[in-house]
Amino acid sequence: MALDQALQSASAVMLVVESDARRRATKATELRHEGFEVFEAADVAGAKALLEALTIDVVFSDIDLIGGAALARWIEQWQPTTPMRLDSRHGQRSGRAK
């Protein structure tokens, strides 16, 4: 699985997309402590801008974010090999948008 492979590489570049600043900072800090390079976006527009400008290995996104499901579908179309971990306040799942 591409997500597992990316998470095993300390050189992987992560994008954390979360509208809640505290949750975003917490997740980004956890990933940085594990040795990853991490970029952060508070919304879909910011996430798309980073994805278009940088090579991102894994996207962690709040699926409940306004436009979160649309962002996941956009990533699937624009960068289909980029793994996603989709979180919500109800739990998390890996993989593609439904």
Intra-chain end-to-end CA distance of the chain, in Å: 18
Rounded to whole angstroms, the Cα distance separating 89 from 92 reads 8
Go through the domains of the chain in sequence order and give each one's CATH number.
Answer: 2-94 (3.40.50.2300)
Radius of gyration of the chain (CA): 12
Bigger pLDDT: 58 or 4? 58
One-letter amino acid for residue 92 of the chain: Q
Bigger pLDDT: 63 or 85? 85
Q: Which long-range contacts (CB under 8 A, 24 or more apart) does 4-9 make?
A: 6/57, 6/58, 6/83, 7/58, 9/57
Q: Looking at the predicted structure, is the pLDDT value of residue 22 above 90?
A: yes
In this predicted structure, what is the pLDDT of residue 98?
Answer: 41
In this predicted structure, what is the pLDDT of residue 6?
Answer: 54
In this predicted structure, what is the pLDDT of residue 40?
Answer: 98
Task: Please write the tens of the pLDDT for every residue from 23-82.
Answer: 999 999 999 999 999 999 999 999 999 999 999 999 999 888 899 899 999 999 998 999
